[in-house]
Structure 1
Amino acid sequence: MTHLTTHVLDAATGTPASGVAVTLAHLDGPTIDSATTDDDGRLALGPDRLEDGDYALTFGTGSYFRERGVPSFHPVATIAFTVSGEAHLHVPLLLSPFAYSTYRGS
């Protein structure tokens, strides 16, 4: 299993957010991996193991809403987080056109 997974839910429609571009990078550093969410709004990114340190997931929220003809406020949503020895991390995103929230999943 990859070290990092995410799940994006569109709170405005109550459905998974498929086709959202997501980039994993070192915080203030190079990109590690990028892909788009599947039909269930899910995605696994990165290597089998992330080294301890600070990272960021950047979600292409503006493009996602633009493709659906929905005005939105955030062109991207960036979630910064710290890896410190975890075997697996799940970082979900609850998305709406004018807000987003996240938490450390399991």
Structure 2
Amino acid sequence: MSTSTTASVSTHILDTSLGRPAEGVPVQIAARAGRSAHEGQEGEWQALGGSATDADGRCKDLPVLPEGTTHVRLDFAVEPYFLKKQADAQQDAPANRDSGAGVFFPEVAITFAVVPGEHYHVPLLLNPFGYSVYRGS
């Protein structure tokens, strides 16, 4: 819940290679604080905890940001998700096996500035060879 002294964050992941939500992706959140956004850039990161995406690709229970947060970092551990998708695909169609190149982006870290009282929804559009992120609503 957002108040005038804290910001709030939510996220979801869409696997654009499948056109479906990415379920089961671990997401960690960290924050740093300062009297201003500039000062916060020099602060230490405080790990707040995490969650995992549900069947809709959403993290509905990310920890609350502490008062004074100026920057937030979301860390998405996408490698296990893609390795599972690759294993499922190989089991379903063994003749179409990939070269075994693995995962190009094993994790995605998104850092952004926040203002107290604002809500930040940060969707991650993900595929095996790229990703995009934006401030949603």
Is the pair's TM-score, using the shorter chain for normalization, greater than 0.5? yes
Q: Structure 2 unaligned runs (5+)?
A: 3-7, 33-43, 88-101
Corresponding residue for residue 17 of structure 1: 22
Q: Are the aligned partners of 1:8 and 1:92 in contact in 2 as well (CA < 8 Å)?
A: yes
After superposition, give the CA deviation of every residue in 1:72-103 in whole Å (9 maximum; x if it has no partner): 20110000011112431100000000100000
Of 73, 79, 82, 1:65 maps to 82
Distance 1:13 1:80, change over 3 A: same
Q: Post-superposition, which runs of at least 4 consecutive aligned residues in structure 1 deviate over 2 A?
A: 48-52
Identity across the alignment (%)? 40
Matched residue count: 106
Residue 35 and residue 50 in structure 1: after superposition, are their counterparts in 2 closer, same or farther (change >3 A)?
farther
Structure 1 counterpart SS, 2:64: coil
Q: CA deviation at 1:48?
A: 6.6
Kindly indicate which of the two structures has a greater share of residues assigned to strand: 1
Distance across 1 between alignment mates of 2:52 and 2:85: 16
**Bigger helix fraction:** 2
Give matches, 1:67-82, under 5 Å: 67-69=84-86, 71-82=102-113
- Which stretch of the first structure deviates more once superposed, 33-42 or 50-59? 50-59
Matches of 1:38 and 1:73 in 2, distance apart? 23
Q: Where in structure 1 are there 5+ consecutive unaligned residues?
A: none
Aligned ranges for residues 1-106 of structure 1 at < 5 Å? 1=1, 3-26=8-31, 29-44=45-60, 45-47=62-64, 51-69=68-86, 71-106=102-137
Higher mean C-alpha displacement, 25-34 vs 2-11: 25-34
The question of whether the paired residues in 1 share the 8 Å contact of 2:31 and 2:69 is answered with no
SS in 1 for 2:86: coil
Query: Are the counterparts in 1 of residues 70 and 113 from structure 2 also a CA contact under 8 Å?
Result: yes
> Aligned partners of 1:65 and 1:50: how far apart in 2?
35
TM-score of the two chains, using structure 1 as the length reference = 0.88
1:52 is displaced (CA, Å) by 3.2
